[in-house]
């Protein structure tokens, strides 16, 4: 009986319309930046969670629109006069809306999966939990919206709730995050009460089970409150209905970590190396395994160019697996120096097909400069050291350095002068200077590396 009523609600209520609205708007937002998640399941889950910035307020508004249906049709008094419990009328409608919004969310994930499945080689189980929390949040929003729509059956209720949803789920947390950064302190744990994923997640990070479980606890409590408010007819019932949300927040917030979503943890599985040994070894992280066929050729070309001119040249290329500094938000990072026989290169740009985008010929110079790079932690920026790497890479190619857009006149003159001076020396002296510069770079003596452009290497 209940199932039949649920199917009728799905066919005749606005639940399907709300779901279609969520799906269309969510898909438009998701597909506008496929490079952000192509080939990576966790990034897909996080991108869809970021889309809750729009979807969550829409679910609130959709629930409010459905909640005022009885008042809109002027049948409140008629239904109140029937002998059936109120729950028997509420549950099918609430269930239909929940099924609709969850279906839209799942379909949105399936649409995004089309950009992930062909190239993804790593599936973190935590991505399922991240996605599930997002679906639960939409149910909570829809039911709370229904309760508000029933309590305040006005035409403006739905749009007003949408605006309030944006403010509560996105703008307020964003303001809390910025305030924490300005005050140089971790973002408060309460920031995680919002289901919207603010900021981003590095490819080598994951959302911990602690965060997922506490968010699920809070959102389940909020959904329960929304459902109880729908069924409440008296003040006492309304007061009791609020209790689950209050208790959920009281229990969840102390269990949530500070730092907001920047409290994400490293994911060793994503950072595990996948290597191509068909020649000089080239390795990338497992989460970027699809990039290996694209980067192996340029990496071996760079290693061969180094072997042709540089004494004790490196013989192995490995992708940099350090979490980006923007994702650490002030956390201390321990440097992990690599051995002299290895170059560590930055992840190339990932295209919308999940493969490496090497257009623009930027990648080979990046690989060549890596011979003069080392992980020195949060070392201060040294302009001369940066320019010295450009000169060194140009020396390997035998071509003058290509001017960068960000160079000023002085920097361009420095680079040109350093390159001409270097190639004007006997071959043995060139090799000796480049080897000395590499020793300086590997031992994190940036000032000594920068001596190339200052002409100070003895």
Q: Which of 61, 39, 55, 51 is nearest to 287 (CA)?
A: 39
**3-class secondary structure, 350:** strand
Tell whether 126 and 203 lie within a shared domain. Answer: yes
Q: In the chain, what percentage of residues exceed pLDDT 90?
A: 60
Tell whether 318 and 255 lie within a shared domain. Answer: no
Tell whether 168 and 302 lie within a shared domain. Answer: no
Q: Which of 98-107, 115-124, 173-182, 268-277 has the least mean pLDDT?
A: 173-182
Distance between CA atoms of residues 25 and 107, nearest Å: 12
Tell whether 246 and 101 lie within a shared domain. Answer: yes
**Is residue 329 predicted with pLDDT exceeding 70?**
no
pLDDT tens digits for range 198-244: 777 899 999 999 999 999 999 999 999 999 998 887 788 888 899 99
Last residue of a domain, one of 210, 236, 265: 265
User: Which has more confidence, 300 or 376?
Assistant: 300
User: What per-residue confidence (pLDDT) applies to 205?
Assistant: 93
Question: Per-residue b/e over 139-156, b at no fewer than 16 CB within 10 Å?
Answer: bbbbbbbbbbbbbebeee
pLDDT tens digits for range 125-134: 999 999 999 9
Tell whether 312 and 247 lie within a shared domain. Answer: no
Tell whether 389 and 312 lie within a shared domain. Answer: yes
Tell whether 282 and 147 lie within a shared domain. Answer: no
User: What per-residue confidence (pLDDT) applies to 2?
Assistant: 63
Containing domain of residue 178, as a range? 1-265
Tell whether 257 and 290 lie within a shared domain. Answer: no
Q: Mean pLDDT in the chain?
A: 88
| Pairing mode of beta strands 205-206, 342-345 | unpaired
User: Which has more confidence, 35 or 87?
Assistant: 35
Distance between CA atoms of residues 428 and 377, nearest Å: 33
What is the reported pTM?
0.89
Last residue of a domain, one of 209, 238, 265: 265
**Is residue 321 predicted with pLDDT exceeding 60?**
yes
CA torsion through residues 182, 186, 189, 191, sign: positive
Tell whether 247 and 279 lie within a shared domain. Answer: no
What would the two tokens of residue 377 be?
């932690």
Number of domains in the chain: 2
Tell whether 311 and 432 lie within a shared domain. Answer: yes
For 248, other C-beta atoms within 10 Å of its C-beta total 21
For 106, other C-beta atoms within 10 Å of its C-beta total 13
Last residue of a domain, one of 265, 299, 319: 265
pLDDT tens digits for range 39-84: 999 999 999 999 999 999 999 999 999 887 766 666 566 556 666 6
Give the HSE-up count for residue 385: Cα atoms under 13 Å, Cβ half-sphere: 21
Tell whether 145 and 184 lie within a shared domain. Answer: yes
Tell whether 330 and 391 lie within a shared domain. Answer: yes
User: Which has more confidence, 102 or 405?
Assistant: 102
């Amino acid at each position: 009986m209940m199932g039949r009523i649920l199917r009728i609600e799905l066919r005749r209520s606005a639940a399907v319309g709300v779901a279609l609205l969520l799906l269309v708007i969510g898909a438009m937002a998701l597909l506008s930046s496929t490079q952000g998640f192509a080939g990576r399941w966790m990034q897909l889950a996080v991108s869809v969670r970021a889309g809750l910035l729009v979807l969550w307020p829409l679910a609130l508004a959709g629930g409010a629109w459905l909640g005022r249906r009885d008042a809109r049709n002027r049948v409140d008094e008629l239904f109140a006069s029937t002998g059936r419990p109120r729950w028997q009328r509420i549950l099918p409608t609430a269930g239909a809306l929940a099924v609709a919004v969850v279906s839209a969310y799942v379909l949105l994930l399936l649409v995004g999966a089309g950009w992930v499945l062909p190239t993804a080689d790593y599936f973190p189980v935590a991505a399922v939990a991240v996605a599930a929390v997002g679906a639960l949040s939409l149910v909570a929003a829809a039911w709370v919206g229904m309760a508000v729509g029933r309590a305040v059956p006005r035409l403006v209720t739905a749009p007003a709730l949408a605006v309030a949803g944006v403010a509560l789920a996105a703008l307020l947390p964003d303001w809390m995050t910025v305030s924490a950064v300005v005050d140089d302190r971790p973002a408060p744990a309460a920031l995680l009460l919002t289901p919207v994923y603010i900021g981003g997640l590095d490819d080598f990070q994951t959302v911990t089970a602690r965060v997922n479980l506490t968010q699920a606890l809070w959102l389940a409590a909020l959904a329960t409150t929304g459902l109880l408010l729908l069924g409440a007819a008296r003040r006492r019932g309304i007061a009791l209905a609020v209790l689950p949300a209050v208790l959920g927040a009281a229990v969840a917030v102390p269990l949530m970590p500070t730092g907001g979503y920047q409290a994400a943890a490293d994911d060793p599985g994503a950072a595990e190396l996948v290597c191509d040994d068909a020649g000089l070894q080239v390795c990338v992280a497992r989460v970027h395994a699809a990039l290996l066929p694209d980067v192996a050729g340029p990496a071996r070309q760079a290693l061969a160019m180094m072997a042709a001119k540089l004494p004790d040249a490196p013989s192995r290329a490995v992708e940099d697996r350090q979490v980006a500094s923007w994702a650490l938000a002030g956390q201390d990072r321990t440097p992990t120096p690599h051995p002299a026989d290895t170059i560590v290169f930055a992840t190339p740009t990932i295209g919308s097909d999940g493969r490496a985008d090497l257009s623009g010929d930027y990648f080979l110079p990046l690989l060549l400069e890596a011979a003069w790079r080392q992980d020195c932690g949060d070392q201060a920026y040294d302009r001369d050291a940066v320019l010295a790497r450009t000169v060194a890479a140009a020396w390997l190619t035998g071509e003058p350095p290509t001017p960068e857009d960000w160079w000023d006149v002085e920097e361009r003159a420095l680079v040109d002068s350093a390159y001409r001076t270097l190639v004007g020396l006997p071959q043995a002296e060139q090799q000796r200077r480049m080897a000395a510069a590499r020793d300086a770079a590997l031992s994190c003596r940036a000032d000594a590396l920068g001596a190339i452009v200052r002409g100070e290497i003895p």
